Chains A and B, each alone.
Chain A
Amino acid sequence: MLLIHCPYCDETLPEVEFTYAGQAHVVRPADPSSTSDSEWEAFLFLRENPKGAHYERWRHLHGCGRFFNAVRDTVSDRFLTTYAAGAPRPDLSDLIERAK
């Protein structure tokens, strides 16, 4: 079972309190009417799916109920960090250095 740190509650809690919400930092096109089919495809369907560090969203459903972002290694399932929604994307090399 994953143990996940909620950045709002500041507690590390079991996975069953949380729901996964897909890749983080996916930005909706600013001007939908001028967005091409390929751009819509990328926005709706194409995801990074990396084997390694993944920027993703989680929701503390059975706690504060709020969305936050996380960086998790998809090979070991280890969380490198979690941070509030809207906060800037943390630099990966720093995270990996800190995790060592």
Chain B
Amino acid sequence: MTHFSAFSLLKNALTGNRNWTEQWPDPEPKAEYDVIIVGAGGHGLGAAYYLAREHGITNVAVLDKGWLGGGNTGRNTTIIRSNYLYDESARLYDHAVDLWEGLSQELNYNVMFSRRGVLMLAHTVHDVQSFKRHIHANRLNGVDNRWLTPKECKAYCPPLSISPDARYPVLGGALQERAGTARHDAVAWGYARGAAKRGVDIIQNCAVTAIRRHPDGSLAGVETTRGFIKAKKVGVSAAGHTSVVMQTADVRLPLESFPLQALVSEPVKPVFPCVVMSNAVHAYISQSDKGELVIGSGTDQYTSYSQRGGLPLIEHTVAAITEIFPIFNRMRMLRKWGGIVDVTPDRSAIISKTPVGGLYVNCGWGTGGFKATPGAAHTFAWTIAKDEPHPINAPFTMERFRTGRLIDEAAAAAVAH
């Protein structure tokens, strides 16, 4: 496997880029693995990478029903931030941001993490009060987040309209400067490459149809479209399809799957320097390095497994974007799509052991799983390897819905994760 460096780039450029080798092999599944990860998105591939790198467990397979990174990893709007209200969430997401910062070097693969700043707009007095509360809570947790006046918002993001007669007047904003974006595909590819280099099998087009248990209830392995594969441990990281997979093992999870939509514009020259989120009107926008405006919408109101979603939501989002950024009101949109996100009642994730020994689950990331990718993968790998949670993910159990110890980011923010 080629090590990327300035020298290797130059050498291959001079020889016509004909000598690059494959980044990871395409192996046949073995009969048995120590650990099987279900779902080759960023979370699953990352978990396999950390299992191999941090815990020395290399007899690992990552199975996916489609192609690598073809689910929500390739469908999100790539926003990374950690300005969550509650202590538990702040620790988990800030752990992820810490890992994001060194990820390109660690993986020897450019994930294009860009700390361009995430600005959350306040449009009402309630927004102002709630964001200021967030800022103070974040500061106490050592998470950077500061208040900007409307003029400072405008200086930070020039396309923004702060006109007092705007449909959604800007009363200020909360800015996290360490936050930003990354290249989503590269995250999946980088983790896949790093895991494969350490001996992990990445098996695409191999759908897990059921988790098989012995008559005594213990874990046997997984049934797949390419036959039964025995496994000592199984970690499910299947986003919107987690409840479908887990049901085959008789484990019920407090999840509902909704389509979450996003869209991109035609590519234009650099015009948008940061990420702007407006929770009140459900509109999130940044500009990719290719020049497209990447716009995130909300979830449809009904549960669904169709990766489409309805147009009324897109209309609402685009209407809000053109009100807040009148400069974009003649921009043409290129394409829109939906991803199926698994939402928990408290809008916090589950990274947890399950009642079945050797079966683990990483799910419930709802509308905000991408930002957590390295942190979720790292703590999930720990949980699988040691059969106990890392202190950071210890509060994110599936039992909290029985004990009542919710991490209620739903009440803290109501929208947008």
Contact = CB atoms under 8 A, between A and B. Distances in A.
Interface of A: 1-2, 15-16, 19-20, 37-38, 40-42, 44-47, 49-51, 54, 56, 72, 74-77
B306 A45 contact: no
Interface string B78-122: 000000000000000000000000000000000000000000000
A74 B310 contact: no
Contacts of B243: 49
What size tier do the contact residues of chain B reach? Answer: 20 to 34
16 contacts: A20-B301, A37-B403, A44-B345, A45-B345, A46-B252, A46-B253, A47-B255, A50-B244, A51-B241, A51-B244, A72-B302, A74-B257, A74-B304, A75-B305, A76-B306, A77-B308
Nearest to A72: B302
Contacts of B254: 41, 45-47
Interface residue SS majority, chain B = loop
B312 A77 contact: no
Q: Among A41, A42, A45, A51, which residue has the most Cβ atoms of chain B within 10 A?
A: A45
B256 interface: yes
Interface in B128-156: none
A45 B343 CA distance: 11
A47 B256 contact: yes
B248 to A, nearest CB: 12
Contacts of A41: 254, 401-402
B345 A74 contact: no
A74 B312 contact: no
B312 A16 contact: yes
A77 B306 contact: yes
B311 interface: yes
Given A1-B312, A54-B303, A49 B403 contact: no
Contacts of A49: 243-244, 255-257, 303
Given A2-B302, A49-B257, A75-B306, 4 more contacts: A20-B302, A40-B402, A74-B306, A77-B308
A47 B244 CA distance: 12
B301 A19 contact: yes
